[in-house]
Structures are given as C-alpha cells and as structure tokens.
Amino acid sequence: MKHKQRLIFAGLTLLSLMNIANAQLPDPGVDIVAGRTALLITDPQNDFLSPKGVTWGVVGKSVTDNNTVQNIDSLFKAAKQNDIPVFVSPHYYFPTDHGWKFEGALEKLMHNIGMFDRKGALTAEGFEGSGADWLDRYKKYINDGDTVVSSPHKIYGPETNDIVLQLRKRGIDKVILGGMSANLCTESHMRELMEQSFEVAVVSDATAAAIVNEGNGYESALVNFRFIANTVWTTDEAVKKINASK
C-alpha cells in the first residue's frame, strides 16, 4: 500500500511539474524595423527623477537601485545614434486641472503636492528647472527639434493625449517603452498601446516606482509587463538590439 501511495504521489508531482512547465509564458519578442519602430519615454521629468523632485522620498530608492536615470539616458542616446524616432509623453497639470471635483488616490496626492504643476497651458513661465521640466541631462535629446513631445496625459494612460495619433501618423507600430513610473504611467501606456495593436517591448530597468506601506509599485509592474507586453528587455539588451538594427 505504501509503495502504491508513493507511486501515486510521484505521479501527481510529475504531473504538477509538467503543468507548471506548460504554463510558462512565451516571449513573442519585438523585431526592430527601420521606419516602424520608435522609442517612447513617459514622464522623464524632475518630479520623478531628480532628488529635488517632490516624489523622491518614495521613488528614490527604486530609481537608484535600477540605475533608471542612466538607463533612460542610454536609450535616448542609442535611439538618436541609430535614427530611431523618439517620442515623449509628459505629465503636466495646469491651474484649471486643480478644479477637478473628484480624484483617485494618486491624483489627489499629486495635486496636493503640486506635482508636474505648470503656470498654464499657453505659457512656459516658471517651467525651466521646475518639477515639470525635463531632467537636465535629457534636454539635449528632447529639445533637439526632432523628438516628438505629445500633449500631456492627465492621469496615467495615453487615452487623454495624442501619443497614439503621433505614432500612427509616422507609420510607427512597434514601441520600445521606458520612463516613469512603472506601475502607473508606464504600465498604462503599455496597456493602451497593446489594445491599440502596437507591438511593445518594455525596458524593465529604464523605469522605477514608488515604494509605500501598501507595496512596491515596481515589483507589481514587472509581473504585468511580462504578462502583457510582447517582450521585456533590460537596457543593455535594448541598446544592443537598437545598435544592431541599423
């Protein structure tokens, strides 16, 4: 009887292992094709990425551990050197946005701390060096006259801005995605781009997220990146693929 029980247990264990193996997620990948592939960076702004930014207290460790600032720089540099179009989807709040009658948890926090605040939609007064401004080291890439800066998204995803239009109008259907923050704007852009039939490669260490009592946003995003995107690359992998694509 004991021998029979051991055989049954061994069989069940083997079956369980087979089921786990069969459940492993595939990696469809993304091929970089000239004229059809772009780099998209979400929120490369001071309030997320500078130690002086208003969120540094909760995102700083994740940004530092991932080497996020340097990794985003490496993506910008590789894309520019290899004629990969670059797009930026920024996050701005204008004074009229503070008139909203209801908000989600993070929206309320962002409004309370003045995150991404600008003086107005039709003025750049006070923009230079503000929390809404680009990180200084990225300005040579973003302000070069070639990078496409979309209208601002207002919560997390690109449903409220024109990034999809800007990509489509240039014949782009493949996106290399990085930026801030992992489980909010970056993940939301990934989700909507996938819904809009783009191929998306997320660069896992070119992003970061808040770590709060309720959890680690970066760890949450990594699971969803792998479940949803066509593929997930490190910055080193992305740069090698970009360099090899020319």
DSSP letter (8 states) at residue 206: S
* Mean pLDDT value across residues 239-245: 97
Could you tell me the residue range of the domain that residue 90 belongs to? 39-244
CATH number of the CATH domain containing 112: 3.40.50.850
The answer to which of 10-24, 68-82, 147-161 has the lowest mean pLDDT is 10-24
CA dist list (Å): 131 to 44, 55, 75, 90, 91 = 10, 10, 22, 12, 10
Whether the pLDDT of residue 109 is over 80: the answer is no
How far is it, in rounded angstroms, from Cα 154 to Cα 117?
Answer: 11
The pLDDT value given to residue 114: 79
DSSP string, 57-118: HHHHHHHHHHTHHHHHHHHHHHHHHTT--EEEE-B-B-GGGGG-S---HHHHHHHHTTTTB-
pLDDT band at 126 (very low <50, low <70, confident <90, very high): very high
Determine, yes or no, domain membership for 33.
no
Note whether residue 16 is domain-resident. no
More confident residue, 128 or 115: 128
pTM to 2 decimals?
0.89
pLDDT in tens, 32-69: 999 999 999 999 999 999 999 999 999 999 999 999 99
Phi, psi of 168 (to 5 degrees): -60, -40
Please tell me the distance from the alpha carbon of residue 163 to that of residue 24, in angstroms, as a whole number.
Answer: 33
CB atoms within 10 A of CB 190: 28
Confidence of residue 17 (pLDDT cuts 50, 70, 90): very low
The predicted structure's pLDDT at residue 115 = 81
3-state secondary structure 144-166: CCCCEECCCECCCCHHHCCHHHH
The verdict on residue 28 lying in a domain is: no
- Amino acid 2: pLDDT: 56
Residue 106 has pLDDT above 80, yes or no: no
Contact 245, 32 (CB under 8 A): yes
| Residue 186 belongs to a domain | yes
Residue 25 lies in a domain: no
Tokens of 188: 């939301």
Q: Read off the DSSP letter of residue 142.
A: H
- When divided into structural domains, the chain yields a total of 1
Judge whether 1 lies within some domain: no
Is 34 part of any domain? no
Give dist(CA 209, CA 188) in Å, integer.
Answer: 13
Q: Are 180 and 43 in contact (CB under 8 A)?
A: yes
Task: Fill in the amino acid letter for 192.
Answer: E
Report the amino acid identity of residue 54: V
pLDDT of residue 23: 63
pLDDT at 20: 52
Is 18 domain-assigned?
no
